[in-house]
Amino acid sequence: MVERSAAARAKAEGTTIEAVLASWAGVEVPAAGAPAPAPAQAPAASAAPAGASMSLDDLASAAAEKSGMPAKLLMRSATAKAKAQGVAVEAVLAEMAGVPVPTIGAPAAAAPATAAAPAAAAAPAMAPAPEGVRTQRLLTVVKSKAIQQVKTEPVDKVNTWPHLVAAEFVALMAMTAFLLVLSVIINAPLLEAANFNLTPNPSKAPWYFLGLQELLSYFDPQIAGVLIPGLIGLVGLGAIPYIDRNPATRPSERKFAIMMFTFFLMGAATLGIIGSFFRGPGFNFTYPWTDGVFFDDLLDWLE
């Protein structure tokens, strides 16, 4: 990996791989292409280099011990590198082991110095990995969890029948019995037809319209009979769901909607109570505890 990085940087900078490796190692950059000085006469009994006396297995063991790689894996790597560079496997193993390259098939007599070709630059040695550091690269870490998690919340559900329908039927029977008892106890006779020559005083609308009649005593009929009930009442109540788009279902989280409905409800109730109990003859304002109650429907119920 160091060689690949050095080769890429040397190609980008237009220099040699040896110069890049030397700059990384902090040593002097070797002079590229400088021929090695050949001795005038080779000594007859020169000492054999240390790598020349080592066998292939010894070189592989030494290289494996230095690099920390298994011997078989290192041998396969050295064979592939030697095939790619066109050199012997022993030379590659010697470079990995850090020993002199053994001479393979050396001639008996040295050639004359004038005819000797400049020595090829030796391939840079692999940078040994720091002790205790593995050279494998971590690509990713897969968590031991499912890719898609499905979370289901337990919900208590019951069938419509009989749970809901039975409760609604009981409520229907109770309300029917209440209305029957109320119709028997309260006196609510059918009176004669209305006589337009004899108008009762005060003339009050039914209880469900008394709020509008009370508004007529404060505003113009166009305002109290059309604008307020039509625009503010019907249109305003219908616009509440579009104004408050809160999807919550709990009353504590729907404060704005509850406030608006309470405003309309309290306004209608206040006008109805004033028109029923606080309006006397001529639809004038009176106090029921001093002047009495001028509400025919209520008087009929009490009698």
Looking at domain 200-302, its CATH class is mainly alpha
Give the model's confidence band at 43: pLDDT under 50 very low, under 70 low, under 90 confident, else very high.
very low
Tell whether the model's pLDDT for residue 111 goes beyond 50: no
Angle (nearest 5°) at CA 112 between 109 and 113: 125
Token representation of residue 117: 């070709």
Instruction: For residues 78 and 87, give the distance between their C-alpha atoms in angstroms, rounded to a whole number.
Output: 10
Share of the chain above pLDDT 90, in %: 12
State the pLDDT confidence band at 126, using cuts at 50, 70 and 90: low
User: For residue 279, what are the β-bridge partners?
Assistant: 285
Q: Roughly what angle, to the nearest 10 degrees, separates helices 2-13 and 17-25?
A: 120
Alpha-carbon distances, residue 220 vs 214, 225, 276 (angstroms): 12, 8, 21
pLDDT digits 0-9 by tens, 157-214? 888 998 999 999 999 999 999 999 988 888 777 778 888 888 888 888 888 888 999 9
Q: For 113-149, b where at least 16 C-beta lie within 10 A, e where not — what string? A: eeeeeeeeeebbebeeeeeeeeeeeeeeeeeeeeeee
CB-based contacts of 66, cutoff 8 Å, min separation 6 = 96, 97, 98, 128
Q: Is the pLDDT reported for residue 150 higher than 70? A: no
How far out from the chain centre does Cα 244 lie? 27
Tokens of 80: 């592939």
Count CB atoms within 10 A of the CB of residue 294.
Answer: 21
In the predicted model, what is the mean pLDDT of the chain? 76
C-beta of residue 258 within 8 angstroms of C-beta of residue 266: no
Reduced to 3 states, what is the DSSP secondary structure of residue 285?
strand
The residue among 146 and 252 whose pLDDT is bigger is: 252
Distance CA 61, CA 26 (A): 29
State the pLDDT at residue 137.
64
Q: What per-residue confidence (pLDDT) applies to 84?
A: 86
pTM of the model as a whole: 0.41
Q: What is each CA distance from 188 to 182, 183, 185, 209, 254, in whole angstroms?
A: 10, 8, 9, 19, 42
Question: Tens digits of per-residue pLDDT, 46-104?
Answer: 444 444 567 777 877 887 777 777 777 778 888 888 888 888 888 888 888 777 776 65
Instruction: Note the pLDDT of residue 15.
Output: 80
Comma-separated ranges of CATH 1.10.287 domains in the chain: 200-302
Q: Which helix (H) or strand (E) holds 165?
A: helix 165-185
